[in-house]
Structure 1
Amino acid sequence: MEALYHQTNRLVQGTQQCFEKLEKADDINSDAIEREIQARINSITSNCERLEILLYKEPLNRRTNGKLRIDQLKYDRVHLQAALDTFRNRKYQRLQEEREREALLNLQFQPNNCKETSILMDHSQKHHSSLQNANRGVDDLLLSGAGILENLRDQRMTMKGAHRRLYDIANTLGLSNTTMRLIERRAYQDQFILFGGMVFTLIVIGLIVVYCT
């Protein structure tokens, strides 16, 4: 176990030195160094797994110290892998920016094509006109509905006045209680008809407003 631990520790140190070479290398040579670093990291991972198996064969008084050393190697491996991934991401972004810059420099501009640059103003104008007409129609419906409600309110007041006058006339003429109850029942039913018409009108106006907008 000790020999494998020292071998893995040397791998960690050698991988760290490879990163110094990687920072100084150009794009052509960096690929080979990246592959070498990845191979070293894979070896470190494999050795850590073997060390964890061998740890259980050690005496109990040495397992705690051995576990700490293996955890340190695993931490170093994670750190090395993260550093390699970060370098690859930076390299990819740099290459992508260079390709985009090269493509922009090589781009040849041509005179504008009237068919390609023309804007479909007619369609936009028609759409705008349709919206204006719809809004105008909704406003007209709202005004019409308000007029209908006002008429219904006036009719209700008229019916109340007529009922009151009929009641007074009936008292004056001395009509029977049965006749009075019939008149009151008819007036009560007329109120339901009135309120029902008002509610129906409001529902129709609300549906028109919802579907038109």
Structure 2
Amino acid sequence: MAMTIEGGGGGTLSAIYQSAKKLLLKARDGIERVERLESSTSNGGLDSPELSFAVKKDISQIQSLCAEMDRLWRSIASKPQRDLWKRKVEQVAEEAESLKESLDRYFARNQRRMKEAQERAELLGRANGESSHVLRIFDEEAQAMQSVQNSKRMLEDSLSTGSAILTKYSEQRERLKRAQRKALDVLNTVGLSNSVLRLIERRNRVDTWIKYFGMGVTIVILYFFISWRG
């Protein structure tokens, strides 16, 4: 059953889940391509920092969507539906974490290869004056990998900040709900007290009228009685 609970960006829980699943497929395909390129690199192929960066961006976006879905499923009133969505979101988050670990291992292997290649180039440079060109090529590749690592850290920081904001937003919304309920309780109590006061005032006025009417009747009876005896 599609959920109509909306997130901060206006998307429903189901729509966000579908977007996350599509990104998972895309990221998984990207990881496979990266690993194929890595295999061909060892046989003279070329590495692709742009591809690995794009995969890292997709994984970070999936984790951001998981943070949004984690906030939304907690608002579902039905416990069976809430438990179902909890399992779905946890499964997506686990798959995204697995892809992230695979990509991190790739980055580590690539950095190690770059370091080894640079060391080989330095050895060749001492024996061959043409090694400066080779070193320049590896320096450019090292700078590209460093740029990817810097972008990775920036994305992770942005994800942490976004998750913290979503958590604070959820907490503030719960506090506002509790304050609203307390305010309604106070208003209901005040309304009941005013009704009781008005009822007491009406009862006092009626008693006063009855008292004065009784006094008037008594005076009239005494007057007729005294007149009759006289």
TM-score by length of 1: 0.48
> What's the TM-score, normalizing by structure 2?
0.44
Larger radius of gyration: 1
